[in-house]
Chains A and B, each alone.
Chain A
Amino acid sequence: MKTKIGNEYFLNLKRRIYQNRIAYLLAAPFFLLFFLVTVIPVLMSFYYGFTYYNMLTAEKFVGLKNYVKLLLYDDIFVTSLKNTVVFAVITGPAGYIISLLVAWLINELPAKLRSVLVLVFYAPSISGNVYLVWKLLFSSDSYGYINGILLKLNIISSPILWFEDPQYILPLLIAVQLWLSLGTGFLSFVAGLQGVDNALYEAAAIDGVKNRWQELWYVTLPTIKPQMIFGAVLAITNAFAVSEISSSLAGNPSVQYAGHTIVLHMQDYGTVRYDMGYASAIATVLFLLTVGCNKLINIVLTKTIK
């Protein structure tokens, strides 16, 4: 009986696939690539998480050993998790709100000025490793810019080791990340704001909207909700994936792991220690963490902005 239903189902499926063959054909290139370059690597990484694999010799299956070590014994993972969370909690929402506000303000300006300002704000995030300028500003040398100025003003008496002294590393990295936060999300906000239909504002005015805040809350934000969710996903992913800034400004590993993030921890194991199995386990945890956060943000955004 069961098999019959099964058979029928499959026959049905076959027929339906045949009927929609053109659609499948059109979708095939994307799915093929998607499976090849995204799904398969993710599955492989998931598998390697249960092995010891040093990349040069064949992997050995070790069961849950990596996860046990990661979640129960690895102090540095805890540090990097803490740093990542601090990073994400501060730079994610703050960067998001800054992007939104700046986009909203810019939207009020005349078109020509607007495009110039968009470029100005967007420039830091498209110009590659431009954040390295911070390394110059906050050089630990007494002739570094900030140290030089502080020494000159007699605020400090000896140069501060900005990227070597653990107490300064994380705050500085957060500042740099915020500076870079006007990225793709910001651009999508600008685009979204320009797409809002003016008729909506007129209708809202007739319906009794009194000030700009109400306009923003009841008209603008609901209209650009797709862009906002897109921006939020980007903000969270970026916040969790912070690594390059830290490794190029504070080094990998940074002094006493003060700027260590999960991604850096993963790179440390993957490329420095040649322990791909463990790195894969970290990647899996990071993956789950990011997906969870994104789900959460989606729910929050959908609930608050109606």
Chain B
Amino acid sequence: MLKRCALLLLAAMLIVCSLPNVKTVAMASYDDLLYKYQSSEEVGYAEYSKDLDVSAERQEIMFEANGNEAQWKFDIQQSGVYQIGFTYKIPSNSNGEVVRSILINGKVPFLEAKRIIFERSFIDNGEITLDNLGNDILPMQIPSDKPCFKWANGADGYYSAPYMFYLEKGINTVSLSKVSGELAVKEITVKSVDKLSDYKQALSQYKEQKLSEVEDFSLCLQAETPSLKSSSTLSAVSDRTSPRLMDHKGEFTDSINTRLNILGGGRFSASGMWVEYNIDNIPQDGLYRLSFKAKQDATKATTVARKIYINGTLPYKQAECFEFGYSSDYENVVFGDASGAYLVPLKKGRNTLRIESTLTAVAPYCSALENELQALGSIYRKFITVMGTNPDANRDYDIQKKLPQEVKSLTDISMQLFNIKDALQEKFGSSNYTSIINTIALQLERMGNDPYIIPKNVQSLNSNISSLGGVVNSLQETDLDLDYIVISGSNTELPRAQANIIERIGFTFKNFIYSFSMDYNDLSSGDEYESSIEVWFLGGREQAQVLKELVTSSFSETNKTSVTLKLVSVNNTLLQATLAGRGPDVALGITAADVMNYAYRKTLVELSSNGDFKAAAMAFPNAALTTLTGNGGVYGLPQTMSYPMLFYRADILDELKISVPKTWEEVYGILPILAQNNMTFGLPMPATTNTSFMSLLYQQGGSIYTDDLRQAKFYDETTIRVMRQWVKLHSSYALPISYDFVNRFAAGSMPLAIVDYSMYNNMCLYAPQMENQWSFTVIPGTENEDGTINHAASVTVTAAIIFNSSNSQKAAWEFIKWWTSSEIQGVYGNNLENLLGKAGRYATANSQALEKLPWSQRFYDNLMAQREYTFGVPEVPGGYYTNRYLVNAFMESYSNGTDSRETLYEYNITVNEELSYQREVLELE
């Protein structure tokens, strides 16, 4: 009794302590200020710029010295709104996002100005070349070292126009304050806001300037080779759908080899991405036509829009949002409207053309839908606090009295949704998006009119919220494929875009025949050097592709080793091939358990005896190396390492007024609060992983094996205590045994969960709109006697290994050293992400490489903090039995409610027998 009182007291204290701090007054968002700016007095053309005249290196130093802040003073002649632009350079040694906030006279003018992202721009390092087999090789994508210019604008792409800043007449200070990353600013420009004229006005202006349309001229720009691009993702890709696509040399690509012939392929898809082309040799000043050979098969329901900059500026309003409609094949799309082409002014000599992806066409709908989505999410959570996620349809929950505000807003939201739907329909016509919005609006309308049906509809409301989220995501799709861009005169005819039927049949037939002789899993480049190794890669095709590019560009030549890279899908293949004596020299991506299985059977090369092993292994956490150690040595170099993190929904925790738990005691404190709100806490699923058990065990100073790793320690008091704790969490506290993390976390019914940090990728893929609502931190720990907290977490490792049977072990060792090095792992991770987007974030084992991946600071700091506490469970011969019987012991206690002690004692004998048996047959002594 006393104990329970004490616990209650403790819980109460914890709740009181965990109340959030007093909130600061919310800052106005740009949205709020926009109407004010728009109505403000117009400023005549004015441009001020300050060349800093400081070398880039010096500028960097200035940033550091002045408390990460740099200031410029401007004498403004007239009060009004201005836009601010920067000529900047990002030092090549800096990694991660470069973010600054803009302060006007020492104050951040609006919320968004706190986060101005300075993007890098990229170039192809050389031309597209051919490999020995006749396939195109993509040049490395490297950051451009030339300074670039940008207007301060929004990061989410809705406000793609430059931000407007209100400046009073007189002296104003504009300052940049560091958020993250290194930046060198060369010049800062303050300019009155551009007012774009209509095309017709612009045309008459051109006429006044004596510019006329050119008659005979034609120039073709291959879209896949821009001179500058906003992202290294925007590299040339290969499209085999038509024989009439042109490669970078302007030849039709009906070849059976890989030709990198288009730009896009699903990558030119994020708002704000741009490519820039140099248009050389324009014969005379004049007006030209612009047309694209493009395919937009991303969305039927809406259009995809691009901004067209000529020589750095938008020539007129129509260039701000040029829309591409749906087409299933490549078509000639002329820049213009139904009444004719828009002519663009070009000067004699060199011009630049920039094509930028924009959401202008759909932004109003997206941001409106997002607002409604947020409101709906919070209403849903209020509903489930009253009714639970699975309410009884026949019970009267008295919703109207308990949540009158929410019920009323259902109708409001419904109205809003109907409006959005009508507007969307008017612009783009009916589509599956409008029907989804309609369905939800109807449902909300019914629920608002008749609150008694709310309980029945709560579950479908939840799924509707996620489908609405899906609509927002799909609306933001801006994917476009470009083959080439033609600049032409009025008399020039455009080349035929589509292949005719005979060309098509011939092409398909050729490819079909070729498919018999092509080995799609062989990714070798075919270079010949003195030594050669065969490498098998367990993983996806994209990953292997990226590795291949790296091998070609930075391993083969320097090490004079040719690499035969093969993609293998299943681990079994490796075993069988090794058995048959046809295995590789090196295998990548092998799980730690398999590595040790091979190692104990004496098929792997021991690595720690290499002289430079220490240097190679320095960047790896001990945890990762532990799992690859045994049989008197280390048998692999860690490649990936992942570990659990505590994922939490910051918005919900705020709403519930609880803080993120640091210890298990605090977890116990918040579990009742979660339960009251029909929410739950997620632990790693016991039937599939023992992460929670192992982590708790090591946090409490226990270990699963005896020091000589010969016996299991199930009988140990700590083991028994931890097992009881584990069972109790799932039985007494009823934490779910099995669940779908992304679903529940996104829906809000599981606002806290301990899951592997690679779930970050899943969240980015399935719930990108929630990016700012969640975060992760170190997992709850156990308090030591000295008051420090132990956050130990177990790791999952894959590794690179070398087989004994290899004839070129020296080259193989060089290869895996190269592959797991900080530099290559960093480049690999970044390239992979360029290819796959955030969902391709790579969980490298190399701590120095992790720093090079584009984690934002809040994630990175926590990841590194948790890394300090990671540990690896040694892989002993017969170790699979340990896991198996831990799960069995858990299930037995959980299902039958028996105490764990007897079960663990009994299983200890079984496990030890297996461990000894394996040692005996493997002749390990």
Residues of chain A whose beta carbon lies under 8 Å from any beta carbon of chain B: 52, 54-57, 139-144, 148, 151-152, 158-159, 161, 164-167, 251, 253, 255-256, 271-275
Inter-chain contact A54/B737, CB cutoff 8 Å: no
A52 near B579 (CB under 8 angstroms)? no
A164 adjacent to B687 (CB under 8 Å): yes
B514 at the interface (CB under 8 A from A): no
The smallest beta-carbon distance between B57 and chain A, in angstroms, is 57
Docked-complex contact A256 and B891, CB < 8 angstroms: yes
* CA distance in complex: A55, B887 (Å): 28
Q: Please, which residues of chain B bring their CB within 8 A of the CB of A253?
A: 884
* B895 at interface, CB cutoff 8 A: yes
Please give, as numbers and ranges, the residues of chain B lying within 8 Å of A52 by CB-CB distance: 921
Contacts of A57 in B (CB 8 A): 601-602
Chain B interface (Cβ < 8 Å from any Cβ of A) = 390, 572, 575, 578-579, 597-598, 601-603, 687, 734, 736-740, 743, 878, 880, 884, 887-888, 891-892, 895, 918, 921-922
B603 touches A139 (CB 8 A): no
Chain B contacts for A164, CB-based, 8 A:
687, 737-738, 891
Nearest-Cβ distance from residue A156 to partner chain B, whole angstroms: 12
The interface residues of chain A lying within 8 Å CB-to-CB of B390 are 142, 148, 151-152
State whether A166 and B891 are in contact (beta carbons under 8 Å apart), knowing that A253-B884, A274-B601, A275-B921 are contacts in the complex.
yes
Chain B residues with CB under 8 A of A251: 687
Residues of A within 8 A of B602 (CB): 56-57
Q: A55-B575, A56-B578, A253-B884 are in contact. Are A141 and B891 (CB under 8 A)?
A: no
Residue from A139, A251, A255 with most neighbouring chain B CB atoms (10 Å): A255
Q: For B739, list chain A residues within 8 Å (CB).
A: 141-143
Q: A141-B738, A251-B687, A255-B687 are in contact. Are A165 and B895 (CB under 8 A)?
A: yes
Are A271 and B572 within 8 A (Cβ)?
A: yes
List 16 contacting pairs A-B, 8 Å CB cutoff, sorted by A.
A54-B601, A54-B922, A55-B579, A55-B601, A57-B601, A57-B602, A141-B740, A143-B743, A152-B390, A158-B734, A159-B738, A161-B738, A161-B895, A166-B895, A274-B597, A275-B921
Contact indicator A255/B887 (Cβ below 8 Å): yes
Residues in B with CB closer than 8 Å to A167 are: 895
| Assembled-state Cα–Cα distance A158/B680 (Å) | 14
- Complex Cα spacing A253 to B910, Å: 15
With contact pairs A152-B390, A161-B895, A251-B687 given, residues A142 and B736 touching in the complex (Cβ less than 8 Å): yes
Say yes or no: A161-B601 contact (C-beta < 8 A), given A151-B390, A251-B687: no
Q: For the complex, what is the distance from the CA of A259 to the CA of B496, rounded to whole Å?
A: 64
- Interface pair A272/B895, CB less than 8 Å apart: no
CA distance A220 to B656 in the complex (A): 72
Residue of A with least CB distance to B688: A251
13 additional A-B residue pairs with CB within 8 Å, beyond A164-B891, A253-B884, A255-B687: A54-B601, A57-B602, A140-B737, A142-B736, A143-B739, A148-B390, A161-B687, A161-B737, A164-B738, A165-B891, A165-B895, A255-B891, A273-B918
Closest to A257 in B: B888
The listed residue (A54, A143, A271, A272) touching B740 by CB distance below 8 A is A143
Compute how far the CA of A271 lies from the CA of B922 in the bound complex, rounded to whole angstroms: 16
Picked from B736, B740, B891, B918, the residue with its CB within 8 Å of the CB of A159 is B736
B contact residues around A152 at 8 Å (CB): 390
- Min Cβ gap B684→A in Å is 14
Majority-rule SS of A interface residues: loop
A141 near B601: Cβ-Cβ < 8 Å: no
Q: Which residues of A contact B918 (CB under 8 A)?
A: 273
Given that A56-B579, A255-B888, A274-B601 are contacting pairs, would A141 and B921 also be in contact in the complex, using a CB cutoff of 8 Å?
no
Q: How far is the CA of A304 from the CA of B173 in the complex (A)?
A: 104
How far does the alpha carbon of A164 sit from the alpha carbon of B918 in the complex, in Å?
Answer: 28
- In the complex, the answer to whether B578 meets A256 with C-beta atoms within 8 Å is no
A222 CB to nearest chain B CB (Å): 47
* Distance A100 CA – B253 CA, assembled complex (angstroms): 59
CB-CB nearest 4 A-B residue pairs: A140-B738, A56-B601, A255-B891, A164-B687
Q: How many Å lie between the Cα of A274 and that of B598 in the bound state?
A: 10
Whether the Cβ atoms of A139 and B598 lie closer than 8 Å is no
Residues in A whose Cβ lies below 8 Å from that of B597: 274
Rounded to whole angstroms, the CA-CA distance of A272 and B578 in the bound complex is 16
Q: Which of A140, A148, A164, A272 has the most CB of B within 10 A?
A: A164
Bound-state CA distance A251–B734 (Å) is 23
Question: Cβ of A143: which chain B residues have Cβ within 8 Å of it?
Answer: 739-740, 743
Residues of A within 8 A of B892 (CB): 256
In the complex, A165 Cα to B731 Cα: how many Å? 14
Q: Closest residue of chain A to B910, judged by CB?
A: A75
Cβ of B318 to closest chain A Cβ, rounded Å = 50
State whether A54 touches B921 (Cβ < 8 A).
yes
Query: Which residues does chain B contribute within 8 Å of A158, judged by CB atoms?
Result: 734
Q: Are B579 and A139 in contact (CB under 8 A)?
A: no
Contact assessment for A273 and B738 in the assembled complex, using a CB-CB cutoff below 8 Å: no
Find chain A residues with CB under 8 A from B737 CB.
140, 159, 161, 164
Q: Name which residue of chain B comes closest to A140, CB basis.
A: B738
Chain B residues with Cβ below 8 Å from A141 are 736, 738-740
Q: A142 — nearest CB in chain B belongs to which residue?
A: B736
How long is the Cα–Cα vector from A201 to B377 in the complex, in angstroms? 70
- In angstroms, Cα B918 to Cα A275, docked, is 10
Nearest-neighbour CB distance to chain A for B914, whole angstroms, equals 8
Alpha-carbon gap, A222 to B25, bound state (A): 90
In the bound complex, what is the Cα–Cα distance between A137 and B597 (angstroms)? 36
Q: Which residue of the partner chain B has the closest CB to A62? A: B921
Cβ–Cβ < 8 Å partners of B891 in chain A: 164-166, 255-256
With the chains together, A272 CA to B737 CA distance in Å?
A: 25
Given the complex of chains A and B, what is the CA–CA distance between A273 and B922 in angstroms? 11
| A161 vs B887: C-alpha distance when bound (angstroms) | 14
Q: Are A56 and B598 CB-contacts (below 8 A) given A152-B390, A165-B895, A255-B888?
A: yes
A contact residues around B603 at 8 Å (CB): 56
Minimum CB distance partner of A75 in chain B = B910
Q: Specify which chain B residues have a CB less than 8 angstroms from the CB of A161 in the assembled complex.
A: 687, 737-738, 895
Smallest CB-CB separation from B739: which chain A residue?
A141
In the complex, what distance in Å separates the CA atom of A91 from the CA atom of B63?
77
Closest chain B residue to A271 by CB distance?
A: B572
**Which chain A positions have C-beta within 8 A of B579?**
55-56
Given known pairs A54-B921, A141-B736, A142-B736, the reply for A273 and B880 (CB within 8 Å) is yes
| Residues of B contacting A139 in the complex (Cβ-Cβ under 8 angstroms) | 738
Residues A272 and B880 in contact, CB atoms below 8 Å apart: yes
Q: Which residues of B contact A151 (CB under 8 A)?
A: 390
Give bound CA distance, A290 to B922, whole Å: 33
In the bound assembly, the distance between CA atoms of A158 and B737 in angstroms comes to 11
CB distance from A87 to the nearest CB of B (A): 21
Give CA–CA (A70, B602) in the complex, Å: 27
The distance from the CB of A294 to the nearest CB of chain B, in whole angstroms, is 30
Shortest CB distance A161–B (Å): 6
Residue in B closest to A165 when the chains form the complex, CB atoms = B895
Given the complex of chains A and B, what is the CA–CA distance between A166 and B892 in angstroms? 9
Interchain nearest-CB distance for A248 vs B (Å): 14
B920's nearest neighbour on chain A, judged by CB, is A52
CA distance A139 to B739 in the complex (A): 9
The docked-state distance in angstroms from the alpha carbon of A2 to that of B470 is 89
Nearest chain A CB to B802's CB is how many angstroms away? 15
Please report the C-alpha to C-alpha distance between residue A166 and residue B890 in the assembled complex, in whole angstroms.
Answer: 12
Chain A contacts for B895, CB-based, 8 A = 161, 165-167
Task: Identify which of B734, B921, B922 gathers the most chain A CB atoms within 10 Å of its CB.
Answer: B921
Q: In the complex, A45 Cα to B683 Cα: how many Å? A: 44
Chain A residue, CB-CB nearest to B918 = A273
B-side contacts of A144, CB under 8 Å = 738
Q: Which residue of B lies closest to A76 (CB)?
A: B910
- Smallest CB–CB gap between A168 and chain B, Å? 10
The complex places the Cα of A161 from the Cα of B738 at a distance, in Å, of 8
